[in-house]
Structure 1
């Protein structure tokens, strides 16, 4: 089966964004940078694409111009092991101009949407006890950054 690589469209900040992302995630690196030639359409010598990996997952950033921008229809989900990881990624991705949203969603300074979610959220929201599940869901809907301890407390009726 062929590998599927998400291709992220930027105006001109693809390399800057890739450097930002690889600085946040462990086991990450930039693997290749291609430049526009004389044929364009970008200025000769400027960055065309940046191939990079985030913890082994390949991505490509393309500097394609201002025609397309990110929106919430596509987001990258970070499955965090615990609250400490949630706090780390939340803070790192909001750095230098990111925007908080709700229910664990944020936009980084480049406009990319992320879901920062702790392990255990699915079990709480999908609990077989409907009352417990609904209490957890109601609590989550009132959160910006997910607080797993508060969700557990809500699910337990505390």
Structure 2
């Protein structure tokens, strides 16, 4: 069954470049279709890329070259749940190393300004576990990190 709700991302002329990068990040990702403007639009001339339909980790998205009016804010982000430190490191390096920027607590921005949360599953387990003292220590350790370091979280949760 096709996805009923498809998130749309607004870009200023570089939707195709952004999507080409995004689909390299995760398995089951691809560019599905590129739609060119059938006439001149405020965002570009006839024939320019208007919409890029793509799949990211099995979910459908749309990237629109809509013009300069709207920019990304931290109010919307993509969270990627990672399985281990290697995956966390790879995604962090890909996003921040391609013109992006680091932020706190596993957050970063790509070069187009879209916010991402690179979140190890182990972080979620530690911060929501039944032992509130372990969760508190893990959370406190996370609050001082940029990229999440799972081993450091484990040591903090254990009180070391």
Class of the TM-score when normalised by the shorter of the 2 chains: over 0.9
Secondary structure of the structure 1 residue equivalent to 2:99? coil
Partner of 1:23 in structure 2? Answer: 24
Distance 2:137 2:32 in 1: 45
- Superposition RMSD on alpha carbons, in Å? 1.3
Query: Please, which runs of 5 or more residues in structure 2 have no aligned partner?
Result: none
Deviation at 1:89?
0.6
For 1:47-71, what per-residue CA distance to the aligned partner results, in whole angstroms no more than 9, with x for missing partners? 1100011121111000000000001
Deviation at 1:35?
1.0
Partner of 1:66 in structure 2? Answer: 68
Query: Please, which runs of 5 or more residues in structure 1 have no aligned partner?
Result: none
Secondary structure of the structure 2 residue equivalent to 1:124? helix
**Structure 2 length normalisation: TM-score?**
0.94
Distance 2:26 2:130 in 1: 34
8 Å contact 1:95–1:109 — kept in the other structure?
no
How many residues are treated as equivalent by the alignment? 158
Distance 1:39 1:79 in 2: 40
Distance 1:9 1:116 in 2: 22
Secondary structure of the structure 2 residue equivalent to 1:120? helix
Distance 1:73 1:66 in 2: 18
Matches within 5 A, 1:31-50: 31-41=32-42, 42-50=44-52
